[in-house]
Homo-oligomer: A and B are copies of this chain.
């Protein structure tokens, strides 16, 4: 599905050139969930943003679905991007649109009719557990709720490739598990390829088929993981107390 070939990216700043990504080659197989992990500032986000050429690499090729996005004419690039969903690390929601307005945007761009749009928006908001916040504005949401709106927005137009930059960083374990279930579900039933940048090892263990490790702008490791049995049973999640103390609680405060 995706094949980065020797991509590099450097930034000029006052004190010289900073090489954020240095000739990384990476393949994401169609239909898999691929994790990208590594320390803070390693270049994970930069790498992910190259996969839909939001960040144009200084050199190297970005092959997605057989096309080199770096050389694609603008119009075709736009079309290609329509089938790629993206969840940004900082969400990038539209503050002047309601939650449902935000989720609806990619559908409007795809020219989908009002009624269908409304249905799909509701559906996506249900996926992320926010159907009751549909008419709120982002400023009224908690951090995790904003993140979930961003997820719903990325799912709305049924992309065939989903790029997620730390999609569960603001979510508690319970909500994280729910979101991961959604991702696993669309991956399994619809064959959506998913790339997840994350620093939560549990997330990687839970859903990823393969992992790439990025450190200081270089790809330092890459391996496959055993696929998990499937849907985790949310109803049986231990309580916070149990998670922290085991079955037997301690002194109360």
Decide yes or no whether A172 CB sits under 8 A from chain B.
yes
Please, how many angstroms separate the alpha-carbon atoms of A199 and B15 in the complex?
Answer: 37
CB distance from A24 to the nearest CB of B (A): 14
Report the Cα distance A175→B39, complex, angstroms: 7
CB pair A143 B90 closer than 8 Å: yes
Q: Could you say which residues of chain B place their CB within 8 Å of the CB of A40?
A: 142-145, 147-148, 170-172, 175
Contact flag A244-B172 (CB < 8 Å), given A145-B40, A223-B253, A253-B224: no
Closest beta carbon of chain B to A172's beta carbon, Å: 4
Total residues of chain A contacting the partner, CB 8 A: 61
Q: Does B253 contact A241, Cβ atoms closer than 8 Å?
A: no
Interface residues of A in 228-253 (CB under 8 A from B): 239-241, 243-245, 249-253
| B145:A41 contact, CB within 8 angstroms | yes
Q: List 12 A-B contacts (CB under 8 A).
A: A11-B140, A13-B140, A15-B135, A37-B240, A38-B240, A40-B147, A89-B143, A89-B170, A144-B199, A212-B253, A222-B253, A223-B241
In the complex, the 5 A-B pairs of residues with the closest C-beta atoms, listed nearest first: A40-B144, A172-B199, A89-B143, A41-B142, A222-B253
A interface residues with partner B (beta carbon < 8 Å): 11, 13-15, 27, 37-42, 44-45, 89-90, 135-136, 140-145, 147-148, 165-166, 169-176, 199-201, 204-205, 210-213, 221-226, 239-241, 243-245, 249-253
